[in-house]
Amino acid sequence: MKINILKTTIAALAIATVALTSASVQAAGGAPKPPKQNWSFSGLFGTFDRAAAQRGFQVYQEVCAGCHAMDLMSYRHLAGIGFSEDEIKAIAASVEVTDGPDDDGEMFERPGIPADRFLSPFPNDKAAAASNNGKVPPDLTLMTKARFNGPDYVYALLTGYKEEAPEDIEVPEGGSYNTYFPGHIIAMAPPLDDEAVEYTDGTKPTLAQHASDVTTFLAWAAEPELEERKNLGIKVMLFLLVLTGMLYAVKRQVWRDQH
Amino acid sequence: MSRQFKNPILNWVEYRLPIISFVDDSVGSGYPTPKNLNYWWNFGSLAGIVLVIMLATGIVLAMHYTAHVDHAFNSVERIMRDVNYGWLIRYIHMNGGSMFFIVVYIHLFRGMYYGSYKAPRELLWMIGVFILLAMMATAFMGYVLPWGQMSFWGATVITNLFSAIPLVGDAIVTLLWGGFSVDNPTLNRFFSLHYLLPFVIVGLVVVHLWALHEHKSNNPLGVDIKGEQDLIPFHPYYTIKDLYGMAAFLLFFMFFVFFAPNFFGEPDNYIPADPLVTPAHIVPEWYFLPYYAILRAFTGDFLVYQIISLGGLLMTAKLAGVLAMFASILLLLLLPWLDGSKVRSSKFRPYYAMAFWVFFIDCLVLGYIGGKPAEGAFIVIGQIATAYYFAHLVVIIPIVSRWERPKPIPESISAAVTDAHASKAAE
């Protein structure tokens, strides 16, 4: 009898899991599923590769930040990927921030401080749209959470540009062909190529390296709590495992006279 | 009524407010319970536990959340990034919604399988259906609060459904929106109601338990309690069993919270709401997918629609879909009377049991279809599954339950247990 119930439960769970996964995986407008990459931060014990994330920040700052804002990020957050306090101060001070109004009611410019949000490339959405064929480049803070298979997708997109589109697809003026973009026609011109950024740590600057580094950085920006979460999660799971075992033993003991 | 204790303070309290005996008679040694409940009976207490977790985390989230279209999305992200353990509280609450429905759906199917809805537990069952409805309203409005793309468009699609109601439909929609589109007033009233409804659920749960305690739990055999020999005190037997179940359930729950927190969610909801950009696929949360499939099954050429609308004369397909969606749950209220069999448990009703499992699979199919775009074979499968859903409730159950001759049922719970032991010993 018990075994029967167990079997039914397992079967039901299996069916439910299949149903749920397939329900949550949407067809992405005819684009192929991005190939699975081996990320430092995936898995139960995954952590962000600090060096890759720091290089990724450099890629973001020198390339992506020209068009894409990261409104939820402050410079002080960069401590999370191992930048020192002085480095953060220097990074923040490299931008000019509009502040105010001062006591005279005037707005003024000052160098950035760690508490400032990342400087946006455009003063407002209208300006961003005006400079980009009428479409605002999306904010990147949550990008890897806002797409199915986020990190794999971002990497596939950055490396998925094709100079020659398939013959049956016409690429309009100002657009590019991308294998992994839903609908394939993307307004963003290929942002990265080999040697797009000269890494300060001497890593060989290839397209794949840039794409993988910036994806690691973006994944961290989207889920800065990831390491703390997994770390605490392991402890919680171990605790619950022991608790469950102990409660089961107590249950057996209490029910002994009933069996 | 009041009891005597050795401790004078307990006596002092008990004499003035018999709360100690009240608790003991409700969930303690003074509450007799059938001795043969299996693990499927854990899910009622699990639902109660999830409700408490949702209330606790929800109250904390509300301390940090801002119900304004300009700030809602960022205030949720602030909880995730800047509030101490905000990510934990929010992920527990977010996944807790899914867990609540998993637990309650199992609880509901358990009731269906073992005939827990039958006399004298009809009201107990019906209150349960109202709890489900209140949960659905709460979950729907809660999903709107982060003000992501799916929040906004889900709210737009679902509230628009009410416009199908003749004469008053548009007025209802305007009332729900607090204006002429989903906007700040909508978000504000949804936040208010999302905070209110859980306490309505608590009230319903109290009545649910009240009705439960009057005639006690049903049991896997579905036979009435014949006497003391069928019963064991709730404490310690079921308190420890429920605690064990809770720990095992928390293992499942916390795995998602810590290692796959966005498994049940839609990535689109991490994009701030934009009334000018419609997502490619608007899908509700997984627990609404079966109803969504029923809603979308009603197209102009759907045979069931043609029949109930007299060839399209009576109502539009949209209205039929909306009515069917609500009927799919409200019909459950009639289940105690649709089922004409005196025997409760499916153990003694092999044909009903078979119908039950087909119905269960049908619900999974509806859930699967609800998550797929309405095109091609998905439409046809969805329509067949929808037709079967209603056929099960209004045709198959009434006929099978009146036609089937159940297997002989045991005289009592203790008699069945003794028999089982005897046959085990004989082996």
Read off the pLDDT of residues B106-119 as tens digits, 9 standing for 90 and up. 999 999 999 999 99
* Chain-chain contact of B251 with A224 (C-beta, under 8 angstroms): no
Is the CB of residue A233 less than 8 Å from the CB of residue A222?
no
pLDDT in tens, B305-333: 999 888 888 999 999 999 999 999 999 99
Task: Indicate left, alpha or beta for B216 from its phi (over 0: left) and psi (-120 to 50: alpha).
Answer: left
Q: Answer yes or no: is pLDDT of A78 > 50.
A: yes
Count CB pairs under 8 A between chains A and B: 112
pLDDT at B69 over 70: yes
Kindly determine whether residue A258 and residue B251, on different chains, have CB atoms separated by under 8 Å.
Answer: no
B213 is catalytic: yes
Does B309 or A243 have the greater pLDDT score? A243
The model's pLDDT over B369-405, given as tens digits with 9 standing for 90+, comes to 999 998 999 999 999 999 999 999 999 999 999 999 9
pLDDT > 80? residue A219: yes
A23 and B372 in contact by Cβ < 8 A? yes
Mean predicted confidence (pLDDT) in B265-279: 95
Q: CA B354, CA B343: separation in Å to the nearest integer?
A: 15
Task: Please tell me the distance from the alpha carbon of residue B406 to that of residue B344, in angstroms, as a whole number.
Answer: 10
- Of B96, B118, B337, B121, which is closest to residue B209 (Cα–Cα)? B121
Q: What is the pLDDT of residue A18?
A: 45
Please tell me if residue A3 touches chain B, with a CB cutoff of 8 Å. Answer: no
DSSP A117: B
Q: What pLDDT does residue B424 have?
A: 66
Model pLDDT, residue A118:
96
Question: Can you give the pLDDT at residue A4?
Answer: 54
Confidence band, pLDDT 50/70/90 cuts, at residue A8: low
Q: Are B145 and B190 in contact (CB under 8 A)?
A: yes
* Range in A23-27, A38-42, B135-139, B196-200 the model is least confident about: A23-27
Q: Which of B35, B213, B215, B216 is catalytic?
A: B213
pLDDT at A149 over 90: yes
Q: Distance from A181 to chain B by nearest Cα, in Å?
A: 13
Give B194→chain A minimum CA distance, Å.
25
Alpha-carbon gap, residue B117 to B111, rounded angstroms:
6
Residue closest to B362 by CA, chosen among B344, B376, B381, B347: B381
Contact assignment for B266 to A24 by CB distance below 8 Å:
yes
pLDDT at A29: 52
Q: What DSSP state is assigned to residue B373?
A: -
Using alpha carbons only, give the angle B341, B345, B351 rounded to the nearest 5 degrees. Answer: 65
* % pLDDT > 90, chain B: 92
Sequential DSSP letters for A192-255: --TTSS--TT-----HHHHHHHHHHHHHHHH-TTHHHHHHHHHHHHHHHHHHHHHHHHHHHHHH
B183 is an active site residue: no
- Inter-chain residue contact B247 with A240, CB threshold 8 Å: yes
pLDDT of residue B5: 87
| pLDDT (mean) for B25-38 | 94
Q: Which of residues 337-376 of B touch A (CB under 8 A)?
A: 360-361, 364, 367-368, 370-373
**Choice between A165 and B108, residue whose per-residue pLDDT is larger:** B108
The answer, yes or no, to whether ipTM is higher than 0.85 is yes
List, as ranges, residues 273-332 from B with C-beta within 8 Å of A. 280-281, 283, 286, 289
Cβ under 8 Å to A: B residues 183-222: none
Which pairs with CB-CB distance under 8 Å and at least 24 residues apart come from B207-215?
B207/B127, B208/B124, B208/B127, B208/B128, B208/B131, B209/B26, B211/B121, B211/B123, B211/B124, B211/B127, B212/B121, B212/B124, B213/B26, B213/B31, B214/B120, B215/B120, B215/B121, B215/B124
**Whether B274 is catalytic:** no
Give the burial class of B186: count Cβ atoms within 10 A of its Cβ; 0-12 exposed, 13-18 middle, 19 or more buried. buried
- The whole-angstrom separation of Cα B70 and Cα A90 is 32
Q: Is B217 a catalytic residue?
A: yes
Catalytic site includes residue B341: no
Q: Which residues pair with B367 in a beta bridge?
A: none
B208, B241, B347, B372: which one is catalytic?
B241
Q: Pairing relation of β-strands A96-99 and A108-111?
A: antiparallel
Least confident window among A186-190, A226-230, B327-331: A186-190
pLDDT tens figures, B39-54: 999 999 999 999 999 9
CB contact under 8 A, B251 and A150: no
Would an 8 Å CB–CB cutoff place B268 in contact with chain A?
A: yes
Query: Mean pLDDT of all residues in chain A?
Result: 89
Q: In angstroms, rounded to a whole number, what is the distance separating the alpha carbons of residues B329 and B115?
A: 17
